[in-house]
Amino acid sequence: MGESSLSSAAITDNLGTRFIGQRVIYYPKLESTMDVAKRQAQKGAREGTVIIAGEQTAGRGRMKRGWLSPRGSIALSIILYPEMSYLSSLIMVASLGVVHCLEKVVGLKSQIKWPNDVLINGKKVCGILIESELKGNRADYATVGIGINVNIKLSDFPEILPTATSLSHELGRDVSRLDMVRCLLAEIERLYLALPSGDAVYQEWRDNLVTLGKKVQVRSKETTYEGIAESVASDGSLLLRQSDGSLTKIVAGDVTLQN
């Protein structure tokens, strides 16, 4: 799809959401949607405000890694003001929203790799980054960053070729970024609003995790663990069964699936 297909007006037009995506700030080119979203949130931007870039030049992933967002990809951040108890569920909401829209819009099945990647055929198509600011015992704001490889020619980026894929690569054709973005905003709002109703979001997220039951290596801060990814807690933590039989709870880390 051409660059003109992504615009604030096109995204918000008859979107049908209550608040997510009702205000969209679009930049043809931007260093980081997360940085702009943070500044907007600190100024009190209304909940559901979306920052989206046609191209992102200094995107970042977890652990301060860079995130590639060339033209043809989706790079957006959503500003939310969640209850503190829902903060750990935002990664579930965002990743499930992506999984749902991949199936709805382009008919592709995907899986979630703990904690924040969406995979197609074992390769990364989407990364998610949640950042929040806490004040005392409450969340001041949270920003949900989502990057999806949509219409990217993988051969142009040999550094990601072994581990990543794109929707256009999987399908052999370009995909409407506009359709994906509009679906994503609606799905994320629906899942976000479902959080007070119980554990349905957590249970579906858990059931979509490719990590569970697999032998994994987890790097968490300065420590490396190995074992079987046995389960996940409702707060999103990974429960790792180590070779000595002990069960370790890992709140954050990088997972490598072992053969």
Confidence of residue 259 (pLDDT cuts 50, 70, 90): low
Domains of the chain: 3-207 (3.30.930.10), 215-257 (2.30.30.100)
Q: Is the pTM of this model over 0.85?
A: yes
> Where are any strands of DSSP class E within the chain?
24-27, 50-53, 56-60, 66-69, 74-80, 111-113, 117-120, 123-135, 138-148, 215-220, 223-232, 238-241, 247-250, 254-257
pLDDT at 59: 67
pLDDT at 2: 42
- CB 87, CB 140: distance < 8 Å: no
Confidence of residue 5 (pLDDT cuts 50, 70, 90): confident
Residue 65 backbone phi and psi in degrees, to 5? -80, 155
What percentage of the chain reaches a pLDDT higher than 70? 94
- Tell me how far apart the alpha carbons of residues 206 and 175 are, in angstroms, rounded to a whole number: 28
Question: Dihedral of CA 31/150/146/111: which sign?
Answer: negative
- CB 201, CB 96: distance < 8 Å: yes
**Structure-token pair, residue 258:** 């072992």
Report the half-sphere exposure of 125 (CA within 13 A, side-chain side): 24
- Tell me how far apart the alpha carbons of residues 19 and 17 are, in angstroms, rounded to a whole number: 6
- Tell me how far apart the alpha carbons of residues 146 and 144 are, in angstroms, rounded to a whole number: 7
> Which tens digits make up the pLDDT trace of 25-78?
999 999 999 999 999 999 999 999 999 999 998 766 554 556 678 889 999 999
pLDDT top residue among 258 and 20? 20
Q: Which 3 state secondary structure label does DSSP give 189?
A: helix
**Structure-token pair, residue 83:** 């209850």
Helices (H), the chain: 8-12, 33-42, 90-106, 167-171, 177-194, 200-207
> Which tens digits make up the pLDDT trace of 82-139?
999 999 999 999 999 999 999 999 999 999 999 889 999 999 999 999 999 999 889 9
> Which tens digits make up the pLDDT trace of 202-219?
999 999 999 999 999 998
pLDDT at 3: 44
